Amino acid sequence: MQLIDGNRIASDIIAELTATVAALPGRKPCLALVRVGEDPASVSYVKKKETTAATIGVTSRIILPPVTITQAGLEKLIDELNADPAVDGILVQSPLPKHLDELAIFRRVAPRKDVDGFNTINLGKVAQEDDTGFVACTPAGIMELLSRSGVDLKGKHVVVLGRSLIVGKPVALLALQKRAGANGTVTICHSGTHDLPAITRLADVLIAAIGRAEFVTADMVKPGAVVIDVGINRVPDATKKTGYRLTGDVHFPTVAPLCAQITPVPGGVGPMTVAMLMKNTVKARILSAAM
């Protein structure tokens, strides 16, 4: 069993981006980070993105609207950022407060600045294999992890557990693409799937993105499979000072010994998401300079 080290691969990408940004003429790339409310996880994620941006040489603009902001107010803010020529990328941190329509906000971000990859146009470009768009950061990170770990999906059976717009659907489309490193045969499983273990046991590459702690157990995995664990869940643990521990969607102690390669949680997919956000922001700056 070999661990896929997301921290190391993300560090490699950040080093590559730092060199790219240093060589860019004119102003540095600028990323607007919009966070509504004080959700502790969101505060932590935005801080991590800000710190990584600074390392690379990307300018961060942190925008903190009041938690009471209306849908119209947030849409107006997005429109202003869309129109600002000094802003290359816009990220609206999820989740938003319940009174806001998250999907409508994602769609409001101009496709050319949608470095999160959630705009309808950019999701469509993934389906059309059009590289001018932006791929959602976690799916893009998964593909980088596989590529840089020597896993070629050509001819492989890829089973995706979960069908979210953020991970499941886009990563299935990416694995399916007719290009180097992809060309997989893809099955998507979800809550309506019958006899789930029988299908996941067919996977050469299993991507678990279901959002349920330690859901994937040893009886669901074929020996020699590559397992990508996208989940990040808090489970109670009295031995920890925080009172909880982080775990993935895979029961690592029993599944890992079966695998050819597997990502840990934390330290697997998570660091890649931030690295790919930065990669998209640098790409947005380069594309805007070419316009």
The catalytic residues are 49, 93, 116
Q: Where, residue-wise, is CATH 3.40.50.10860 in the chain? A: 26-111
pTM of the model: 0.95
26-111 under CATH 1.10.357.10, yes or no: no
- Residue pLDDT, tens place only, 229-280: 999 988 888 888 888 888 999 999 999 999 999 999 999 999 999 999 999 9
DSSP letter, residue 65: -
- Residue pLDDT, tens place only, 24-61: 999 999 999 999 998 888 888 899 999 999 999 999 99
Residue 291 has pLDDT above 80, yes or no: no
Tell me which residue has tokens 């050319």. Answer: 112
Q: Where, residue-wise, is CATH 3.40.50.720 in the chain? A: 137-269
Q: Is the dihedral of CA 208, 96, 276, 82 positive or negative?
A: positive
Residue 199: pLDDT band (50, 70, 90) is: very high
- Residue pLDDT, tens place only, 159-171: 999 999 899 999 9
Angle, alpha carbons 275-20-270 (nearest 5°): 5
- Which amino acid type is present at position 15? A
Closest CA to 58 of 3, 17, 96: 17
Topology at the third CATH level for domain 137-269: Rossmann fold (3.40.50)
